[in-house]
Amino acid sequence: MKWQAATRKSFQKREAEDAYVVNERAGVFGVFDGVTPMDDYQDAYGHNGAFIASNLFREHFARLSAPCDATEALVQANQRLRERMLRSPIDMTQRHLLWSTCAVVVVVHDGKASYAHVGDCMIIALDKEGHTTVLTKDYVDGVSARAEAKRALDRKQGVFVPEEDYFREPVHQQAYQRWMANTPEGYSVANGMEEMGAYIQTGIVDTTQLQALLLISDGMVYPGGRHENVIHAIREIGIETYMLEMEDWERNNRVRPDDKTAILLQF
């Protein structure tokens, strides 16, 4: 197996909120996309909650010395994040302030690749016949519509919820959606909540049937683009060239950029 990996900070951010791990000793590969916080907290090193969360996960998987159960390791990292927040001044009763990260982890061992996933980091597989399969679900996709539907249902059931004009303000909309994290109506994310364990997507693929696996953060997909296209483009021009071309496109089209991270495993 060969691999290549890269990460690139958004040109509009002070620091990267993505992180990745390549732990060949343990056969562990992971991409972590920290969720930009809603407060201005910084630790003693000037890092915000998104940076802390994604890099805590990176460090957790980098320390492993042998193949692991991807799901168990994800739960353990989430518990470490909870413990880290408990040592901070943030109010953990306010769910919209919890530090959080999307995550996808692959463990390659004995001809198999097992994976665990929360949020909108994704895995795309390319098989020996040239067919692509998106192995993971984008749990964040459609959350705005689900949030609006939940508010409408709550109002109908007599629960007080501000009218929709209130949620046209992005800060109010974001806060509401973050309270939906790790709930049936919401989306999965690693934010220290024990409930996250119930929303982890898992799977196993036979690497003998694969040409490649691609792990990406959501910043690697063009608006309206397809995940399947990314793996073909990266295999053709390489990760870093893909990132630079996408960044040029974002500037030219005045599209708000995001951090970009990818790991390509080739079998």
209-226 tens-digit pLDDT: 999 999 999 999 999 999
Task: Evaluate whether 114 touches 203 at the Cβ level (below 8 Å).
Answer: yes
Q: How many CB atoms lie within 10 A of CB 11?
A: 9
pLDDT in tens, 103-158: 999 999 999 999 999 999 999 999 999 999 999 999 999 999 999 999 999 999 99
The per-residue pLDDT for 7 is 98
CA–CA dist 216, 225 (Å, integer)? 14
Which residues 6+ apart lie within 8 Å of 261 measured at CB? 5, 6, 7, 8, 18, 19, 20, 31, 32, 33, 216, 217, 219, 220
Which residues 6+ apart lie within 8 Å of 266 measured at CB? 1, 2, 3, 211, 212
Q: How many CB atoms lie within 10 A of CB 261?
A: 29
CA–CA dist 212, 130 (Å, integer)? 10
pLDDT in tens, 58-111: 999 999 999 999 999 999 999 999 999 999 999 999 999 999 999 999 999 999
CA–CA dist 239, 213 (Å, integer)? 13
For the residues 254-259, what does the mean pLDDT come to? 95
The per-residue pLDDT for 128 is 96
**208 falls in which pLDDT band (50, 70, 90)?**
very high
Which residues 6+ apart lie within 8 Å of 110 measured at CB? none
The per-residue pLDDT for 85 is 97
E-strand ranges in 63-111 read 101-109
Please tell me the pTM assigned to this model: 0.96
Instruction: Show the domains of the chain with their CATH numbers.
Output: 2-138+189-266 (3.60.40.10), 141-186 (no CATH)
CA–CA dist 148, 163 (Å, integer)? 10
